[in-house]
Each structure stands twice: as structure tokens, then as C-alpha cells.
Amino acid sequence: MYVSRDIFQLKFGHYRDVKALLDEATKANMFPEHDLRIFTDFTGDAYRLILEQSFKSLGEYEKALSNDMATPEWQAWYLKFKEHVVSSYREILKQIK
């Protein structure tokens, strides 16, 4: 099992706009169905958003990137989303137990 974790540092004061975009994307079933979990900061750096998904293999992860997130709908949504982001990084973790 692999876990992909995308960590976004949002612009100050942009959380509500991003939350509305996430609600829009969820309602439109734009997120791949890979046990999606969405987190926001409770402590630590403020205005962080973390999208976390589980995949059975790295091949399944790659397929999600090349298929699900390559649609015109996803790309249009992502253009709006990234206007609210200062920076981001990705972690891919392998679950061992």
C-alpha cells in the first residue's frame, strides 16, 4: 500500500475560497476514488491543506495521475485552485505494517 500526500501552503486568508473549490470538486466527483482524505492544519504552519490518498501500487497511482487528473474538467478546476497556493510538495509513502 502506498500513500500519496500533497501538502499545499495556502495564501493567507484563502482557506474559505479553497474550501468552496474542494466542495465543488467533491460534488462533481472530480477526485479519484482512492480513499481520499483532506486535512487542514490544527497546529504548526497555518493555512496548510493536505490531500492524502491510498493506492495499492505505484502503477495505480500513476494511472490516477495520467487519467483522472488529466481531464479538461480537472485541469480547469486546478487552474482556479492553484491561484490560492503559495507552494506545495508531495510525499509518497510506503505502508509497511
Task: For residue 14, report the phi and psi dihedrals to the nearest 5 degrees.
Answer: -100, 5
Task: For residue 20, report the phi and psi dihedrals to the nearest 5 degrees.
Answer: -65, -40
pLDDT in tens, the chain (97 residues): 999 999 999 999 999 999 999 999 888 888 766 688 999 988 777 899 999 999 999 998 888 888 877 789 889 999 999 999 999 999 999 999 9
Q: Where are the domains of the chain?
A: 2-94
pTM, rounded to two decimals: 0.86
One-letter amino acid of 8: F
Please check whether residue 3 is in contact with residue 60, taking contact to mean a CB–CB distance below 8 angstroms.
no
Q: What is the dotted CATH code of the domain comprising 2-94?
A: 3.30.70.100
